[in-house]
Structure 1
């Protein structure tokens, strides 16, 4: 009888331990994500001004491999999560969606992934246009997480970034995809295909090629920072197409009429 009672006790203890472990594990998963808001940058700036926080904006696209890598690694880091959730109003901007596309133009985003940090006044105080590991992002967040950048504002905010903070000159309207064309591709559930026209080992060569393409075409041009071991590669991509067939047709036009070779991806 005593033996049976001891067995039951052990079973109860094991069940309690298992339940506790599962509870802790579930809680850890729930607390392990950055609280990216499903809102626009203007709402984020308003929240930051009233709460005395900064705004963290991550520009990305679903087809951007480095962006996905940051989602799976950098934004899962415990220190990164704590810093962003406690001190920043974090927002993600998908450049293939209507609002993200407009914000991309407003803030002159030409490279993915890109990060903007705005102070509580709504002014851009830092701009990063490269893939960041968790340690690098922690350093960036700590650098900007100062009292001077996090004052509670009672007056109105700046609606757009000041000219001094812009790293690059604004794109000419003719160098971006016309908005009417973009509407055909704004469905975020569709795959997006682009023509990669070159892979470069230096930033200067990639930007030179991107500038050349913007002079020739109305289609959108993006530069993707990619990592291969310790080496950084810069991929220049042109256009935005809903199907592989459309992208392939455009690739053939590039090759036949402009002698520009590329691959669809």
Structure 2
């Protein structure tokens, strides 16, 4: 099935997965990413590439394994996994992202699917990886249970999330929106408090332990993202991700207000050549599915 793109219509009862859970946060995420593949690749995609080698290492991805990449986006992680000689299966909730991944990683099997319901039988994969996917699900604990379900006993799961508090470069766009007086709109809900967890090394490790994983751990990854004012602005201006929905929520005039404040605040991060150097920090967590006794 390598390279074939087909939307999965298998029911949860047939694959043994969790019943579909659509929280207001999940619905908002689908809107935030709809039709965003080109704008994402041109901006945020390069940022999210940094943790990929460490993510694959944490999952022990190596020759001959069967690996699932959840939330593959345009397929960057799937491509990197495939280069290690593994059999790659990838899923993404956004059809445009899945199509781009299928085009860019022809040896992968790519599906349109969203956590917490994956179209696979239990124990199918030697390793499961998700680059920032937990940032985009309404019930992270239910999502983790689903990842554990499709991973074989003894297999590894590795995930990244953005750290909180955010590094200064990551906070730049939010600061610009706040300075422009553009709040988070009511139709862009935050994660429900009972579903959230501390975005710290300790908090994410505890979440994996709670999910029943063994050998759980977490470490911070910090890096400077090199970009330009123009490149960094085009994603939110196009409505990409949650920050994009905030920026565009008050129409053209609101977008322009945020842009002006963004340009001023970006001067803090300008290097000698006129580019932007934006500090970012993420958390890399990993664990192993318990062996059957």
Shared fold by TM > 0.5? Answer: no
The structure where helix makes up a greater share of residues is 1
Question: What TM-score, normalized by structure 2, do the two folds share?
Answer: 0.26
Between 1 and 2, higher relative CO (CA 8 Å, sep ≥ 6) is seen in 2
